[in-house]
Amino acid sequence: MKNKKFKKVSFNNTKKQLVVFYTSGKKIALHYSSLGIRSNLTEAWIDKETHSQSVGIKYSNGKVDFMPYDQPLAIVKDPEFLLQTQMECLIAQIKEEIKTSKISKRYLAEQLHTSDNQIQRLLDPKILNKNLSQLYQISSILGLEVQMRLRAA
């Protein structure tokens, strides 16, 4: 079963705001326009069918829509969410190259002078606290180059 993401949701048609509360303690208030909402809401609820992974929204015209848990985080550019997303992409590419090149995780561990468990930990996208130097080393062994860049948002 997936982890519950949303704890509570509320809306204010006067302020044109939808407010979501995450089980992690985060609270994000979004203006309707940032969600593409053009009419008032009559109801908002945490969708139990998705195990609290989305919010249901009912508009004044009777139309129903759903918002996934990550949409508000992406809209406000939540730093933890963005880091998680970037790490998942980086690790997915590394794992794909490991599979393609048929280089074993044991070999990677030997090259990095570390344990097999550390390699498993490095390649687990749910763990954010990583040794980036070791990820760079793995990438280099696999013939990949990691590039980081900053740009105005």
Q: Which residues of the chain have pLDDT under 70?
A: 1-2, 153
Residues 10 and 32 in one domain: yes
- pLDDT at residue 2 in the model: 60
Q: Which domain holds residue 27?
A: 6-75
Per-residue buried b or exposed e for 32-46, using 16+ beta carbons within 10 Å of the residue's own CB: beebebeeebeebeb
Residue 149 located in a structural domain: no
Give the sheet arrangement for strand 6-12, strand by strand.
6-12, 17-22, 27-31
Residue 6 near residue 20 (C-beta atoms within 8 A):
yes
pTM: 0.76
Q: What is the pLDDT of residues 30-73, one digit of tens each?
A: 999 999 999 999 999 999 999 999 999 999 999 999 999 999 99
25 and 51 inside one domain = yes
Q: Is residue 25 part of a domain?
A: yes
Residue 112 domain-assigned (yes or no): yes
Q: Which amino acid type is present at position 92? A: A
What residues have CB less than 8 Å from 17, skipping those under 6 apart? 11, 29, 30, 31, 32
